[in-house]
């Protein structure tokens, strides 16, 4: 009887160890992705600074320059919302055309 109990305890411990390792690796993957996203974000704004310089050299009116600069600055924050909206719209149309059940909002 003790061997069966010990065996189940060992199996339970191995399952917990496996889940802990999996969680650790997933956490590391998420951390690495956050680092990559931050680097892309910095590169984007460095390129935005260069584009502001060239925009400054152009002969547009100041109002036009400000609008273009605001568009460049806000683009990374607005595009995600537009992508999600467009994806949901296309998914809804796909479901409507092919008569599949609509599942509503998805987790992203």
Task: For the chain, 108 residues long, give each residue's pLDDT as a single digit of tens.
Answer: 456 666 777 777 777 777 788 888 888 888 999 999 999 999 999 999 999 999 999 999 999 999 999 999 999 989 989 999 999 899 888 888 887 776 666 555
Between CA 91 and CA 106 the distance in angstroms is 10
Dist CA 4 CA 51 (whole Å): 70
pLDDT computed for residue 106 by the predictor: 59
CA distance 26 to 10: 24
CB atoms within 10 A of CB 88: 13
Q: Looking at residue 63, what is its pLDDT?
A: 94
- Length of the chain (residues): 108
Q: Residue 6 has what DSSP assignment?
A: H
Q: So what's the pLDDT on residue 5?
A: 64
């Amino acid at each position: 009887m003790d061997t069966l109990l010990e065996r189940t305890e060992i199996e339970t411990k191995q399952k917990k160890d496996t889940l802990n390792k999996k969680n650790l690796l997933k956490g590391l993957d998420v951390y690495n992705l956050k680092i990559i996203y931050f680097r892309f974000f910095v590169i984007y704004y460095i390129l935005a600074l260069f584009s502001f310089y060239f925009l400054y050299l152009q002969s547009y009116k100041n109002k036009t320059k400000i609008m273009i600069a605001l568009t460049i600055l806000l683009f990374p924050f607005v595009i995600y919302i537009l992508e999600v909206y467009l994806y949901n719209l296309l998914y809804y149309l796909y479901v409507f055309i092919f008569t599949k059940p609509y599942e509503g909002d998805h987790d992203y």
